[in-house]
């Protein structure tokens, strides 16, 4: 049975303030719940319909937390997204104080990516291109926001996010730092180093001056038409694709 | 003065049913309003704050339609997006019955792209990569939906959209047809023809069987990590970027 207190607790986690306080976040939807159950995140509660519980009995066998059965309707009422009618999980969040980017690895650096959908898509794209670490400015959207989790399609379980002061962080690293600008070297001709950081700027204002100062290689996505700029997630993907192609060519 | 009837009319255009009926749609935000004013769309009404009218006097000099001055607050109440506090425009929509894709041109084909944000981003990306035509299935999101207009960042003024039955359309064309699949030829090695169609599938279920049957070249974006798939807008951009690179190389 889903008590009123549980409902209130789960709904409160839609706000960052309560996620911080409780050190928990919510994962919605059958696919993402299954993905987080098989990840190294600690799941403390699963709320699911009889259909979900039946279909995924095996996935839940090892689960040690609280398991609550409920109707589709209650689940929909409980959920941030109306598309969720199968399951949700309450999960302990992870706050990294530091991450290590090894030589030969790539990391993304996000300078105030504020749209949760963009951030989720960037996490999913990083995961596709084998990038395991994202360094984000403190004003970047919260990775544990429901919209970010949803757009990341489970990739948040595989990509570490460190929130920090970017200029300070970048000054402390010796790996190459690249950034996406409108006036840099053509990404089709840029010879990517074996590892390093790729900085992506804010949706409206681009990379901030303090961060831009740390960037050695300014790269640009070649334009063939008339749009003024590209969406931040799109720019990230095109750069990652060119980076992988450049490294394969070696 | 903004009459109650005007408010009701403008708000009604948030629904496709009324956009169809009135053959009008709404463009919100200073930048997009300026862009549509300088395009070949016919703007019938501009509702704007004194600040907008003062700053953009010149852009409005040629404007023949109804010009209504209002406060920031009223404008915000009138708008679909809370970020709009400058201007909105009511614009006559365009419904194409046919479009011509010339040899040597590329067009995108969207097989049920249902998320408005994705569609807007795809239009913006097409515009960046010099693609002027999109052929969309009837279940693809409506280009004149407010979220699509917003995400397209003005690019909707430069990209023609034809809604039609895809399989029928594709059977009637002689240009090469490519499609994004998870099991095709690596896009890094694919030699793009000088023009043709690139088919992008639905966010969840990919390209439908009837449309897949029309596709001669199956292409795939190489994966280097663990995400199961890419967002539809991201996949579009990576393919367009590889297409342009392939054509430049000749």
- Provide the pLDDT for residue A2: 87
**Residues of A with CB below 8 A from B131's CB?**
225
Q: Which residue's entry shows tokens 């003062």?
A: B54
Place of tokens 């996490």: A123
Interval A126-148 mean pLDDT? 98
Verify whether the Cβ–Cβ distance B238 to A233 is below 8 Å: no
Tell me the pairing of strands A133-136 and A177-186.
Answer: unpaired
Tell whether the model's pLDDT for residue A250 goes beyond 90: no
The verdict on a CB contact (< 8 Å) between B128 and A233 is: no
pLDDT value for B150: 94
Q: Per-residue pLDDT for A59 more than 80?
A: yes
Banded model confidence at residue A126, pLDDT cuts 50, 70, 90:
very high
The confidence score (pLDDT) of residue A186 equals 97
Model pLDDT for residues B111-157, shown as the tens digit of each residue: 999 999 999 999 999 999 999 999 999 999 999 999 999 999 999 99
Task: Report how far residue A215's alpha carbon sits from residue A164's, in angstroms, rounded to the nearest whole number.
Answer: 17
Strands (E), chain B: 24-28, 43-48, 66-69, 87-92, 106-110, 133-136, 160-163, 177-186, 196-200, 217-220
Chain A hits for B226, Cβ within 8 Å: 127-128, 130, 155, 158
Please report the pLDDT score of residue A233 as a whole number. 98
Q: How much is the pLDDT for B249?
A: 84
Instruction: Specify the pairing of strand A177-186 against strand A196-200.
Output: parallel
| Whole-model pTM over 0.90 | yes
Q: Which residue of A lies nearest to B126 if distances are taken between CA atoms?
A: A225
pLDDT at B16: 97
Task: Give the pLDDT mean for A78-93.
Answer: 90
Question: For chain A, give me the number of helices (H) and strands (E)?
Answer: 11, 10
Residues in B touching A154 (Cβ below 8 Å):
227-228
Predicted pLDDT of residue A83: 75
Write out residues 79-138 of A within 8 Å (CB-CB) of B.
117, 121, 124-132
Q: Residue A86: its pLDDT value, please? A: 92
Q: At what angle do helices A116-128 and B232-249 cross, to 10 degrees?
A: 60
**B73-88 pLDDT tens trace:** 999 999 998 777 899 9
| Interface mutation target, options A130, A154, A238, A249, chain B, most CBs of B under 10 Å | A238
Q: What is the pLDDT of residue B245?
A: 96
Integer Cα distance of B247 and A70 in angstroms: 55
Mean pLDDT for the stretch of residues A43-65: 94
Supply the mean pLDDT for chain A: 95
CA angle A181, A187, A191 (to 5 degrees): 120
Count CB-CB contacts under 10 A for residue B90. 21
Return the pLDDT at B164. Answer: 97
C-beta atoms of B237 and A242 within 8 A: no
Closest Cα to residue A128, out of A232, A233, A223? A233
Report yes or no: B234 and A121 within 8 Å, Cβ to Cβ: yes
Residue A100: helix, strand or coil by DSSP? coil
Q: Which residues of chain B have pLDDT under 50?
A: none
Reading the block at residue A59, the tokens are 């996935």
A221 in contact with B at a CB cutoff of 8 Å? yes
């Amino acid at each position: 049975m889903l008590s009123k207190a549980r409902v209130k607790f789960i709904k409160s986690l839609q706000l960052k303030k309560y996620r911080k306080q409780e050190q928990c976040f919510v994962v919605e939807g059958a696919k993402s719940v299954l993905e987080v159950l098989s990840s190294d995140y600690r799941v403390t509660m699963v709320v699911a319909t009889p259909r979900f519980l039946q279909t995924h009995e095996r996935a839940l066998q090892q689960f040690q937390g609280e398991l609550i059965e409920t109707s589709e309707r209650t689940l929909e009422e409980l959920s941030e997204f109306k598309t969720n009618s199968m399951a949700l999980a309450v999960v302990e969040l992870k706050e990294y104080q530091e991450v290590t980017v090894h030589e030969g690895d790539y990391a993304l650096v996000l300078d105030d990516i504020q749209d949760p959908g963009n951030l989720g898509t960037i996490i999913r794209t990083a995961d596709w291109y084998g990038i395991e670490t994202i360094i984000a400015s403190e004003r970047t959207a919260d990775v544990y926001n429901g919209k970010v989790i949803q757009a990341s399609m489970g990739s948040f379980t595989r990509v570490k996010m460190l929130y920090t002061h970017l200029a300070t962080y970048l000054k402390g690293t010796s790996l190459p730092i690249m950034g996406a600008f409108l006036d840099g070297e053509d990404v089709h001709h840029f010879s990517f180093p074996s590892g390093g950081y790729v900085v992506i700027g804010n949706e409206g204002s681009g990379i901030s001056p303090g961060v831009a100062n740390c960037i050695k290689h300014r790269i640009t996505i070649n334009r063939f038409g008339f749009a003024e700029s590209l969406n931040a997630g799109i720019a990230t993907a095109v750069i990652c694709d060119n980076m992988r192609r450049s490294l394969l060519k070696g």
